[in-house]
Structure 1
Amino acid sequence: MGTAPATAFDTEALRRGIEGRDAAALLSLYTDDAEIRVVDRNTQPSHPKIVHGRDQVGEMLNDIYSRDMTHHLDRCVVQGDHVAFTESCEYKDGVRVLASSMVSLRGGKIARQILIQAWDE
């Protein structure tokens, strides 16, 4: 008896969604019950922002990718059911943001994500 092959994660869809600022395309990469934990200056490790489910994930992605800024997928590594990627962003006024994510997949889609981000002040 063998195990079923894992569904591959679409790294090119991730790149196109991030760099094209396409929140709907990115949302399609998440499971319906996805959870994102965000850690940054405002939501520190002991009290991260936690986003649950498709609706909240969609709201977060719409907020991020509707901003007047550039987004670039710098690196993306997939190993089995885990993905790590970094994203660099820049607002029109030159303020830069760097985000690093560690992801757990289920059926080739993002089920859990830890997002750590920092920005110029």
Structure 2
Amino acid sequence: MGTATAFDTETLRRGIEGASEDALLSLYAEDAEIRIIDRNTQPSHPRILHGRSEIGEMLHDVYSRDMTHRLDRCVVQSDQAAYSESCQYADGTRVLAESMITLRDGKIAEQIMVQAWDE
């Protein structure tokens, strides 16, 4: 487990709700890992991204889409945090993502994201 250095939840909000992925990407450790679970990448075969480079590519793809993002809630306890994010495409399609993260020195070291969207 990581150390209990403060996690910047305001940067998380600005990163999620902003128009660019840069602020959000700055919260990840260089060697961070994200596991994404959804309809296409189920729990036994999640999509796994390794390092800020792969995470940055995914964030660039997401933030290049015509959609809004909102941080609904965030809870931080020691070196763990959880947050809920809701998104909406211009056509009205909604997405909900729940993330559990492990922090190391105030940066995201590991993240498990479960997401669902309207179909």
Aligned match of 1:108: 106
Give the superposition deviation at 1:22: 2.2
Distance 2:102 2:20 in 1: 21
- C-alpha distance after superposition, 1:65-95 (max 9, x if no partner): 1111000000100000001000000001100
Match of 1:70 among 68, 73, 77: 68
Q: CA RMSD in A?
A: 0.9
Structure showing greater radius of gyration is: 1
Structure 1 segment 1-121 matched on structure 2, within 5 A: 6-121=4-119
- C-alpha distance after superposition, 1:4-47 (max 9, x if no partner): x7320000000001111321111110000000000000000000
Amino acid at match of 1:113: Q
Are 2:4 and 2:103, in contact at CA under 8 Å, matched by a contact in 1? no
Distance 1:19 1:26 in 2: 9
Secondary structure, aligned partner of 1:43: coil
Normalised TM-score (structure 2): 0.96
Distance 1:104 1:22 in 2: 23
Normalised TM-score (structure 1): 0.94
Q: In percent, how many aligned pairs have the same letter?
A: 72
Amino acid at match of 2:34: I
Higher relative contact order (CA 8 A, sep 6+): 2
Distance 1:16 1:116 in 2: 21
